[in-house]
Amino acid sequence: MIKDLLRKLPPTVEAVLLVSSRREARRFTPWLDAHRSDLRCPVRVLVAPAYAPYSAWVRDSYICLATPRHDLVFVRPAAAGIYINHLRGDAYTPVAAARLAGGILYDARIFFEGGNVRIGLRPHGQRDVFINSHLFQANQELGIPDAVIREEIPALFGPTVKVLPEVDPHLDTYITFARGGNVFVGDPRLALPYLNGQPTTSQEAMSRIRRHDYITKLDQVAKGLHRLGYRVHRLPWLPQPIVESTHVFPTYNNGVFLDSRTF
């Protein structure tokens, strides 16, 4: 998948691949050396320092913001975690990104992951910042005072942040904003037909959808975005992870774009 993406990137983009070890870099370097002439964009492989390893997928460990003067700010969350078996040093990721892009590093007073926040542009260009209610719950569970949460969210994301119903802790698993005021919102009703012939999976999915009232919540999200002026499209969606790896429901994004770079 990564190799296919690199072939499609335009020459105006520099791709930086974050890897966990020199061994991982050596596995990829021969392919890169053999295909550089076929790639339209420059590609670099960055190996994490031994004291803070992380994988190429860094678990949403920072948010890239811009000041009114267009300075880049890499915001590192409070209580950044290290996840599962990949030994991801998530707290180091924004440090590396800030150094590569020449940005400023800011240590936030609240916890977040990149997928907790989404930015949308309406057809006429107005920008909206969206979070969901899980962001407040996650900070409260970490013992961060409500007063700090109320101060830091508008300080980071602006005074008019819009709070959406929680369907998943990460907004980017069920909402995808695109150019031109378009937005894609998940819809379980469109996904269930793909599960024909898998009665156990279908029953499990339906049980979770009913128990959490996902259809109603996602319809509320879609209607609210439509009222704001967005062109709303619905995509197949199921609670994740719920289906076999061969089933893909494209309702989420994972990637960071910095000027002409993609991480």
Tens digit of pLDDT for each residue in 46-90?
776 665 444 444 456 677 777 777 778 888 888 755 444 444 455
Q: Where in the chain are the domains?
A: 1-47, 121-255
What does the alpha-carbon distance between residue 165 and residue 15 come to, in Å, rounded to a whole number? 35
pLDDT of 49 reads 64
Q: Which residue, chain included where needed, has tokens 């998530």?
A: 90
Give the mean pLDDT of 128-156.
91
pLDDT of 240 reads 64
Q: Please check the confidence at residue 167 and state whether its pLDDT lies above 70.
A: yes
Give the mean pLDDT of 92-101.
75
Check residue 59 and report its DSSP letter.
Answer: -
What does the alpha-carbon distance between residue 99 and residue 79 come to, in Å, rounded to a whole number? 21
Give residue-wise pLDDT tens across range 193-251: 766 655 555 666 777 788 888 899 999 999 999 999 999 988 777 776 544 444 444 44
- The set of residues, in sequence order, having a beta carbon less than 8 Å from that of 90 and lying 6+ positions away, is 54, 58, 59, 61, 80, 81, 82, 83
